[in-house]
Amino acid sequence: MSYAIQAEGLKKRFKETQALDGVDLEARTGSVLGLLGPNGAGKTTAVRIFATLIRPDGGRAVVAGHDVAREPGRVRAAVGLTGQYAAVDENLTGTENLLLIGRLLGMPRRVAKGRAAELLDRFQLSEAGGRAVKGFSGGMRRRLDLAASLVGRPQILFLDEPTTGLDPHSRGEVWDMLRGLVAEGVTALLTTQYLEEADKLADEVVVIDKGRVIAEGTPDELKSAVGGQVLQLRPLRPQDLERVHALVTEAAGGETHVESGMIIAPVKDPALMPAVVRRLDRADIPIGELALRRSSLDEVFLALTGHRAEPAQRPEEQPSSPDDAAFERVGSTGGGS
Amino acid sequence: MTATTITAPLTKGGRVRPGAGLRQTGTMAWRSLVSVKHNPLELVDYSITPIMFVFLFTYVFGGQMAGSPEEYLQYALPGIIVQNTLFMTMYTAMSLNSDLTKGVFDRLRSLPIARSAPLFGRIAADLAKQLWAMLLMLALGAVLGFRITGGLEGFVGGGLLLLVFALAVSWSAVLIGMLAGDPEKVQVFAFTLIFPITFTSSAFVRVETMPGWLQAWVDINPVTHLSDAFRGLLVGGEIAGPVLWSLIWAAGIAAVFIPLALRAYRARA
């Protein structure tokens, strides 16, 4: 089996913060690796190391067969990067932005133009290609940014929260495009705070928290290994909610919580469901909805990190959390040619 | 997507070839220049502000300062052009800072291109804009009655001197652009720094009318030397001394700021 990305004991420190504290991970060639974690977990730091923007303090990372610290030029020739915010020039048109990258990569003008047109077409931006990016919507910018990272036909694509701040429709579009690329053999490393995104796109998931890997596997493996099954219950009368919650908590003997009028309890013992039903029956409380389901990645995340994944509602161009690029850039030391 | 990969402009050792680096610098310069086309406001900054300065100085202050607007124009236009040149170097700081804060540098650095290409391309493009603004102001001055009496060599020499000085100062702009938190801060900083420096010089008025303590500063102020030199080359007057001092200042500014700017650039961009 060949790996497009391999990291061993990756470490990086920014002043007071140990952003990465010995991270091991690998991405099989042609797969999507989801890198999951709360704000400040070190996701962006890892991506910036893989994309040769910063050097690790310790450990090593091999991308496309080249060590990121020793052969950054070779790595750059094989990767594409889409950052947390669309890194396109607002004053240029969509076409010019892609032309710029193509020309920088050494394409003759005619070839670069052809490639730009091809990518604009693929990302449904042909009509807007002649307009300045300033007038683009958020979704269009992201698509253009993704297109820009593809000009050089990279074998490996880094997507750092590619859909943060997008509406569900635009997010779906980005997902479809990513699936198309992977079908063509591109390897992708995707960081995200949307667990649904990792669930839908990633072949394998690595969960990091405080700079360490705390879990890894396929989304299914994670869900069954960590989360197991979940009992979900809605009383018929909303005013029963508290009573039922207390009752289920007693029966489950552990952490339960309420989510939009629904009681959620992890199922550790298969006898929980009949036990709950018996107790409710005895207490004469009518049940509106009762279901056993596998836990979502959200619940896996909660179980692993002790807190929920942040909903990531922050607007696109206002990075403020410690994991954001702006913060890390201040502390970054130059790596490369 | 097909399996064909483009040949990255790298040597066997994975470094960027010098020729490729030069071409990439050209591409980056193209990017800075072509953006003017879509951002008419930038053109307003580059052209309207200097034009407004020429009109204001000539017709508002001119009569009182030199007896007639035309006479004052002959004295002050070189100074106005010098001031505008210094202000314009700060566009380098603002645009670099904007690239930095908007993540454009991340994209550029993930490409197999010369590390210096974005910086040198920007500086080269901004020098071209400087040349454009200078020619525009001279052309407008000519319409209002400004006459270049220094001949072609004075014109070419003056232009070159100004560009050399602008190049030196733009390294301080690179440093500011790399250190500032956002483009607006760059603007505030530039204004508070450049405005007093350019006004406490011989750019707009003769030094003799100023109080003694101020003259002491004005006499060493690089803007004084540069204004005198530029004026001397265009319309006559002392040339050798001011030109020499201007070049010494330019060399000094470059010597201090190039290392600092490059260090900041390597660390942040």
- Which value does ipTM take for this structure? 0.85
∠ at Cα B191 (B190, B197), nearest 5°? Answer: 90
Residues of B in contact with A91 (CB under 8 A): 35, 38-39, 42
- The H-assigned helical ranges of B69-182 are 69-101, 104-109, 117-144, 151-179
What local confidence, expressed as pLDDT, does residue A323 receive?
39
Q: How confident is the model at residue B86 (pLDDT cuts 50, 70, 90)?
A: very high
Question: Tokens 């700021």 appear where?
Answer: B257
Contact criterion met (CB below 8 Å) for A82 and A186: no
Mind telling me how many Å the CA of A52 is from chain B's nearest CA? 7
Q: How confident is the model at residue B182 (pLDDT cuts 50, 70, 90)?
A: confident
What local confidence, expressed as pLDDT, does residue B13 receive?
62
| C-beta atoms of A153 and B6 within 8 A | yes
| C-beta atoms of B100 and A329 within 8 A | yes
Q: Is the pLDDT of residue A270 over 90?
A: no
Q: Does A69 touch chain B (CB under 8 A)?
A: no
For chains A and B, count residue pairs whose Cβ atoms are closer than 8 Å: 132
| C-beta atoms of B9 and A333 within 8 A | no
- The residues that bridge with A189 in the sheet, in sequence order, are A33, A158
Q: Residue B71 contacts by C-beta under 8 Å, 6 or more apart in sequence?
A: B62
Q: How confident is the model at residue A248 (pLDDT cuts 50, 70, 90)?
A: confident
Of A77, A93, A107, the CB nearest to B10: A77
Q: What's this model's pTM, rounded to 2 decimal places?
A: 0.79
Of A74, A88, A96, the CB nearest to B14: A74
Retrieve residue A47's tokens: 């991506």
Choose between B146 and A316: higher pLDDT. B146
User: Which of A101, A105, A142, A318 to mutate to test binding with chain B, by most B CBs within 10 Å of its CB?
Assistant: A105
Would you say residue B5 lies in a domain? no
Nearest CA in chain A to B116: A337
Give the mean pLDDT of chain B: 88
Q: How confident is the model at residue B11 (pLDDT cuts 50, 70, 90)?
A: low
Would you say residue B157 lies in a domain? yes
In chain B, pLDDT over 90 holds for what percent of residues?
54
Q: For residue A293, report the phi and psi dihedrals to the nearest 5 degrees.
A: -145, 165
Please tell me the least confidently modeled range out of A135-149, A224-238, A319-333, B147-161: A319-333
Reduce the DSSP state of residue A258 to 3 states and report it. Answer: strand
Of A105, A155, A333, the CB nearest to B6: A105
Mind telling me how many Å the CA of A307 is from chain B's nearest CA? 30
| C-beta atoms of B111 and A104 within 8 A | yes
Return the number of other C-beta atoms located less than 10 Å from residue B120's C-beta. Answer: 18
Residues of B in contact with A330 (CB under 8 A): 268
Angle between helices B151-179 and B240-268 (to 10 degrees): 30
Would you say residue B11 lies in a domain? no
Residues of A in contact with B35 (CB under 8 A): 89, 91-92
Q: Residue B23 contacts by C-beta under 8 Å, 6 or more apart in sequence?
A: A106, B9
What local confidence, expressed as pLDDT, does residue A166 receive?
80
Residues of A in contact with B2 (CB under 8 A): 153
Question: Tokens 């061993």 appear where?
Answer: A8
Q: How confident is the model at residue B1 (pLDDT cuts 50, 70, 90)?
A: very low
Q: How confident is the model at residue A318 (pLDDT cuts 50, 70, 90)?
A: very low
What local confidence, expressed as pLDDT, does residue B10 receive?
65
- The residues that bridge with A262 in the sheet, in sequence order, are A259
User: Which of A63, A91, A161 to mutate to test binding with chain B, by most B CBs within 10 Å of its CB?
Assistant: A91
Q: How confident is the model at residue A5 (pLDDT cuts 50, 70, 90)?
A: very high
What local confidence, expressed as pLDDT, does residue A138 receive?
86
Rounded-to-integer distance, Cα B170 and Cα B126, Å: 9
Q: Is the pLDDT of residue A255 over 90?
A: no
Q: Does A326 touch chain B (CB under 8 A)?
A: yes
- The residues that bridge with B16 in the sheet, in sequence order, are B10
| C-beta atoms of B110 and A76 within 8 A | yes
Q: Which domains does chain A have, with CATH numbers?
A: 3-223+312-331 (3.40.50.300), 229-294 (3.30.70.2030)
Q: Does A153 touch chain B (CB under 8 A)?
A: yes
Q: How confident is the model at residue A307 (pLDDT cuts 50, 70, 90)?
A: low
Q: Is the pLDDT of residue B50 over 90?
A: no
What local confidence, expressed as pLDDT, does residue A157 receive?
95
Sheet bearing A156-160, strands edge to edge: A79-82, A156-160, A187-192, A32-36, A204-209, A212-217
What local confidence, expressed as pLDDT, does residue B35 receive?
80
Residues of B in contact with A145 (CB under 8 A): 107
| C-beta atoms of B268 and A329 within 8 A | yes
The whole-number average pLDDT for the span B49-63 is 83
What local confidence, expressed as pLDDT, does residue A199 receive?
85
The whole-number average pLDDT for the span B70-78 is 90
The whole-number average pLDDT for the span A239-255 is 84
Looking at mean pLDDT, say which of A191-195, A271-275, B102-106 comes out highest. Answer: B102-106
Would you say residue B107 lies in a domain? yes
Q: Does A159 touch chain B (CB under 8 A)?
A: no
Of A89, A158, A326, the CB nearest to B101: A326
What local confidence, expressed as pLDDT, does residue A226 receive?
64
Would you say residue B73 lies in a domain? yes
Residues 299-318 of A with CB under 8 A from B: 317
Domain extent, residue B174, equals 18-268
Choose between A222 and B204: higher pLDDT. B204
pLDDT digits (tens, 9 = 90+) for A100-151: 999 999 999 999 999 999 999 988 899 999 998 989 988 899 899 999 999 9
CA distances for A217 relative to A138, A210, A213, A293, A297, angstroms: 32, 19, 11, 20, 12
Please tell me the least confidently modeled range out of B27-31, B124-128, B191-195: B191-195
Nearest CA in chain A to B23: A104
Count, in order, helices (H) and strands (E) of chain A: 12, 14
Of B3, B24, B38, the CB nearest to A104: B24
| C-beta atoms of A153 and B5 within 8 A | yes
Q: How confident is the model at residue A170 (pLDDT cuts 50, 70, 90)?
A: confident
Nearest CA in chain A to B41: A91
pLDDT digits (tens, 9 = 90+) for A38-56: 778 889 999 999 999 999 9
Q: How many domains does chain B have?
A: 1
Return the number of other C-beta atoms located less than 10 Å from residue A117's C-beta. Answer: 15
Would you say residue B13 lies in a domain? no
Residues 87-146 of A with CB under 8 A from B: 87-93, 96, 100-101, 103-107, 132, 134, 145
| C-beta atoms of A81 and B110 within 8 A | yes
Of B30, B106, B268, the CB nearest to A83: B106
Give the mean pLDDT of chain A: 83
Q: Is the pLDDT of residue B69 over 60?
A: yes
pLDDT digits (tens, 9 = 90+) for B188-241: 888 888 889 988 999 888 888 899 899 999 999 999 999 999 999 999 889 999
Choose between B158 and A174: higher pLDDT. B158
Rounded-to-integer distance, Cα A54 and Cα A332, Å: 6
